[in-house]
């Protein structure tokens, strides 16, 4: 195949589900509905957390960050996805692909760290309740949030620089519905062992270690919970940690399946559906999970609407 060093002039073709046009029509409407729900749900959480003084707590500070992150993440991917589903034009410009890659990867890495920080917040709340206000002071909250965002985008900057300096084959056809690293590496015209090794290291730093820290935090929470004899205490712990644990399971579960999996375990079509799940469905479910059984948010909505 012919190699090309003129990617910037031709852009890329996002194949997505172009071999299944009927499926694309269905996905166009389904993804549009989920995107609308994502915008409404996450915007509501941000506004309620900001407007209601009773929700000016560390938990809702981080939840607002997570909702803002989900808004940015879906907006960096879904509008382009819907445009490609709508008609035969599956193209994305070279600059557009770089921006989508950088923003989506940066936000994905940030969410891994942010969910870890939220697990630490729950650990302090359950295991050290008397010192919670002292430990989780406003300055620390801002520092933890800043570390999450900066570390995520630094990793994305490194990955973007390495990936888009690869010489690519001239067809520039990505077997995906967004500009993702695995799809870009597949059309590289050189040996990609180095960058695959770097991706493996990055996965350990931004996925496996954060997930390990979350599990350790919940191990301590579980040990503390087992000492609670009253049913009211159990319900309080479940209400405090249940929503976060569900979100962690959804997010890291799909990431592990889509990226950190044995090669050839799943077909490319199956992998696309896993990617579709964490880019479209998970950001929609997050605000629902956090508000469905959350009396604080329901109370805040009632006060604001009333």
69-107 burial, b for 16+ CB within 10 Å, e for fewer? bbbbbbbbbbebbeebbeeeebebebeebbebbbbbbbb
- Mean pLDDT for the stretch of residues 45-68: 90
Q: Which two tokens stand for residue 97?
A: 């692909």
For 62, how many CA atoms within 13 A lie in the half-sphere containing its CB?
27
pLDDT at 234: 66
Fold of 3-305: Rhopdopsin 7-helix transmembrane proteins (1.20.1070)
Give the best-scoring range by mean pLDDT among 224-238, 239-253, 263-277. 239-253
Q: Is 163 exposed, middle or buried (0-12, 13-18, 19+ CB in 10 A)?
A: buried
pLDDT at 268: 63
What tens digit of pLDDT does each residue of 128-149 get? Answer: 888 999 999 999 999 999 999 9
Strands 173-174 and 12-14, bridge-based pairing: parallel
Confidence of residue 236 (pLDDT cuts 50, 70, 90): low
- Mean pLDDT for the stretch of residues 51-57: 87
Region of poorest pLDDT, from 74-83, 88-97, 288-297: 288-297
- Mean pLDDT for the stretch of residues 20-36: 91
- Three-point CA angle 9, 12, 17, nearest 5°: 160
Reply yes or no on whether the pLDDT at 75 is more than 80. Answer: yes
Closest by CA to 299, choosing from 55, 65, 60, is 55
Confidence of residue 230 (pLDDT cuts 50, 70, 90): low
The 3-state DSSP class for residue 241 equals: helix
22/41 Cα distance (integer angstroms): 29
Strands 91-92 and 168-169, bridge-based pairing: unpaired
Reply yes or no on whether the pLDDT at 275 is more than 90. Answer: no
239/295 Cα distance (integer angstroms): 9
Reply yes or no on whether the pLDDT at 5 is more than 50. Answer: no
* pTM of this structure: 0.88
Confidence of residue 157 (pLDDT cuts 50, 70, 90): very high
């Amino acid at each position: 195949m012919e190699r090309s060093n003129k990617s910037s002039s031709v852009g890329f073709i996002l194949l997505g589900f172009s071999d299944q046009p009927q499926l694309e029509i269905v996905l166009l409407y389904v993804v549009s509905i989920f995107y609308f729900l994502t915008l409404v749900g996450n915007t509501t959480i941000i506004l309620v957390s900001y407007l209601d003084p009773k929700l000016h707590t560390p938990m809702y500070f981080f939840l607002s960050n997570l909702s803002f992150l989900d808004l940015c993440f879906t907006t960096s991917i879904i509008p382009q996805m819907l445009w490609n589903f709508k008609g035969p034009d599956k193209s994305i410009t070279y600059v557009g692909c770089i921006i989508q890659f950088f923003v989506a990867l940066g936000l994905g890495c940030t969410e891994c760290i942010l969910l870890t920080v939220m697990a630490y917040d729950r650990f302090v709340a359950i295991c050290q309740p008397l010192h919670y206000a002292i430990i989780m002071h406003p300055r620390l909250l801002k520092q933890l949030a800043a570390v999450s965002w900066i570390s995520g985008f630094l990793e994305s900057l490194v990955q973007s620089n390495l990936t888009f300096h690869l010489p690519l084959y001239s067809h520039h056809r990505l077997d995906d519905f967004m500009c993702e690293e695995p799809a870009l590496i597949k059309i590289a015209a050189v040996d990609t062992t180095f960058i695959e090794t770097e991706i493996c290291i990055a996965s350990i730093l931004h996925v496996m270690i954060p997930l390990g820290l979350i599990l350790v935090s919940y191990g301590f929470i579980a040990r503390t919970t087992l000492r609670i004899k009253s049913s009211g205490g159990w319900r309080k712990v479940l209400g405090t940690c249940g929503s976060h644990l569900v979100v962690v399971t959804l997010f890291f579960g799909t990431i592990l399946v889509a990226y950190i999996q044995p090669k050839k375990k799943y077909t490319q079509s199956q992998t696309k559906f896993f990617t579709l799940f964490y880019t479209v469905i998970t950001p929609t479910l997050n605000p629902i999970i956090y508000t469905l059984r959350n009396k604080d948010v329901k109370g805040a909505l009632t006060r604001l609407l009333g």
